[in-house]
Amino acid sequence: MTKKTWSVLCAATFMLLLVGAEGKCDMPSLEIGPLQPAFVLGEPIQLVMTFGNSGKDTAEVDLGVSGTENVELSVSKKGGEKRVVSGTSGSGFAAVEIVRIASGKSESRTLILDDLIVLTEVGKYQIVARVGEGKKLEARTEVHVVPTVQQTCAKLWDDCSEEKGKIRNVRSLKLLCLTRHKDALAYQYRLLEKGADIGTGNLNALLKSMLSTRVPEVIAHLVKTVLSKGKQDSSVRPVVLYHLQSVLGDGKWEKKCIDLLAPYRKEIEKAAPVGVSD
């Protein structure tokens, strides 16, 4: 090999190394996690994708059309099969979304899981996301799907149903009494019919929970089933009268509710606690 040829080869090798070094782009990092600790069954599930760039130059991640075309998810649940889903290009009219991350910075995008797959059961799901052109970025997370209040209350009601005249599950009974949500009222009305049979402590908790919803229907129900004429001997009446004091002193109740209680105002104001210390 001549000296001239050796010089040319060295120069060419140097240029290739230089171009390679300048053209090299560090792979962005990817982290993914749920927007909130848990999602109620049926609620749209949102995942936050965070792209980091530790390189010297601006990095790009091509999410594709509608921001989902280049997203692949592997979804599995303990005891269930694994499903792999990918975004589609859709009609082609949606814009391509490219995330640009400056050096030393991070960028986040929210992915609506329901655009790719709908989770139809309660439980914990393991999700592996592969993102970007070629699906080269990978991260994993867990999504917790919980029952609706109505579903939870239905189960509690079944658990505490009577067996041989006795409440089968006293813990479920207590939890149902303590549930403060309008979707629990249908079951709580049925507990109220049992009166003192559920225990004075549970009865007090039940009324606190029902009244905390500030649903006008609650006042109408109490007037009709407990306070109205012919109900005076009810063992529930003194407890209800006492808890209605909180309604008279709460300006957030609708006027029609206060008007419904007008015929019983004196009784309510004189009522003493039954089985409670506060």
Tell me which residue of 173, 176, 196 sits closest to 185, measured CA to CA. Answer: 176
pLDDT band at 247 (very low <50, low <70, confident <90, very high): very high
Tell me which residue of 132, 140, 111 sits closest to 60, measured CA to CA. Answer: 132
pLDDT at position 278: 43
pLDDT band at 154 (very low <50, low <70, confident <90, very high): very high
Q: 162 and 220: one domain? A: yes
Q: What is the mean pLDDT of the chain?
A: 86
Q: Is the pLDDT of residue 177 over 90?
A: yes
How many separate domains does the chain show? 2
Q: 168 and 226: one domain? A: yes
Structural domain contains residue 8 = no
Structural domain contains residue 20 = no
Structural domain contains residue 130 = yes
Q: Is the pLDDT of residue 232 over 70?
A: no
Long-range CB contacts for residues 28-33, cutoff 8 Å, separation at least 24? 28/52, 28/53, 28/55, 28/59, 28/61, 28/101, 28/132, 28/137, 29/53, 29/54, 29/137, 30/129, 30/131, 30/137, 30/138, 30/139, 31/139, 32/111, 32/127, 32/129, 32/139, 32/140, 32/141, 33/141
Structural domain contains residue 16 = no
Quote the CA–CA distance of 82 and 145 in Å, as a whole number. Answer: 17
The CATH number that applies at residue 109 is: 2.60.40.10
What are the tokens at 112? Answer: 């609506």
Average pLDDT of 174-185? 95
Structural domain contains residue 12 = no
Is pLDDT larger for residue 196 or for residue 176?
176
Q: 141 and 230: one domain? A: no
Domain boundary (146, 162, 193) is at: 146
Q: Is the pLDDT of residue 117 over 70?
A: yes
Domain that holds residue 188: 149-270
Structural domain contains residue 71 = yes
pLDDT band at 7 (very low <50, low <70, confident <90, very high): low
pLDDT band at 18 (very low <50, low <70, confident <90, very high): very low
Domain boundary (79, 111, 146) is at: 146
Q: 129 and 209: one domain? A: no
pTM: 0.67
Structural domain contains residue 170 = yes
Structural domain contains residue 21 = no
pLDDT at position 2: 60
Q: 161 and 101: one domain? A: no
Q: 126 and 158: one domain? A: no
Q: 39 and 141: one domain? A: yes
Q: What percent of the chain has pLDDT over 90?
A: 67
User: Could you give the C-alpha distances from 233 to 208, 225, 260, 274, in angstroms and in order?
Assistant: 22, 12, 20, 15
Q: 90 and 176: one domain? A: no
Query: Residue 196, Cα to own-chain centre: how many angstroms?
Result: 35
Q: What percent of the chain has pLDDT over 70?
A: 84
Q: 139 and 54: one domain? A: yes
Domain boundary (146, 166, 193) is at: 146
Say which residues have a Cβ less than 8 Å from residue 186's Cβ, sequence separation at least 6.
153
Sign of CA dihedral 121, 77, 145, 141: negative
Q: 142 and 197: one domain? A: no
